[in-house]
Amino acid sequence: METHVCRSILLLLIFIYFLYILGKLLNVPTKEQNDHERVKIPVELFVMSRCPDAVACEEVMADVVKEVNDISTFKTNYIATLNSSATYGATCKHGDLECNGNIQELCFQEVNSNQLTFFNYLMCIHRSFDRIGSHEWAKQCSEEVGQDYDPIDKCVNSDTGLNLFIKSVQKSKANQANVSCTIFIDGHKRCIRDGGDWYDCPEGNSVKDFVKSIKNAYKK
């Protein structure tokens, strides 16, 4: 009797162990699952919407994002001086029209999370530099890339847009990013474009170089 009980217990333990091993085998993540679950690399551009260097910088990044869209998140933050008495709560280097342009771009990102569409919007905006920040031009470019401008306009003309702008300026200040355009990849300063020149770019400043940096960060 005791022998029979011991044998039954042993068989039960073997069966439980078999189920445990089977569960492990069935739950082995595939390469696709690992890639999907891996955290995307943040790429942040600290810019001013009416700054020529920001325009040049964003045009390079527009090509970069096409190569690494699936493994990265792109975000623009804006450089200005906090000023509670200013119209937008901060003073922009190129005037209030720039502040408005900054808010338009922040609101576009808030309404539409597709970063490829956002960069298409920026490329449209850049076609007429003097109109950056104007309502009519932002509306036209938004519609050109397939985005209804009404929700963006509502954001721009509300506390939502102002709060996005102030938080963005605060983030630029916290990161000591005071030059437009300053690029951060994976939380680290990667490159600066200022006065028509690239500098502090130890890994290069071409589309290929930025793509490589992002892919290397993703592999870590």
Distance CA 201, CA 209 (A): 10
- Residue spans per domain, the chain: 2-33, 40-219
Is the N-terminal amide bond of 6 cis, ω within 30° of 0? Answer: no
Give the pLDDT score at 144.
98
Region 182-188 average pLDDT: 98
Kindly report the three-state secondary structure assignment for every residue of 132-154: CCCHHHHHHHHHHCCCCCHHHHH
CA–CA dist 67, 62 (Å, integer): 9
Query: What's the confidence (pLDDT) of residue 23?
Result: 57
Mean pLDDT of 28-56: 80
Interval 186-206: pLDDT, tens: 999 999 999 999 999 999 999
Taking only the tens place, the pLDDT of each residue in 69-110 is 999 999 999 999 999 999 999 999 999 999 999 999 999 999
Q: Which residue has the higher pLDDT, 14 or 5?
A: 14
In whole angstroms, give the CA distance from residue 64 to residue 57: 11
What mean pLDDT value characterizes the chain? 91
**32: CB partners within 8 A, 6+ apart:** none
7-13: which pairs have CB atoms within 8 A and are 24 or more residues apart?
Answer: none
Fold of the CATH domain 40-219:
Glutaredoxin (3.40.30)
For residue 137, pLDDT over 70 is answered with: yes
* Res. 220 pLDDT band, cuts 50 70 90: confident
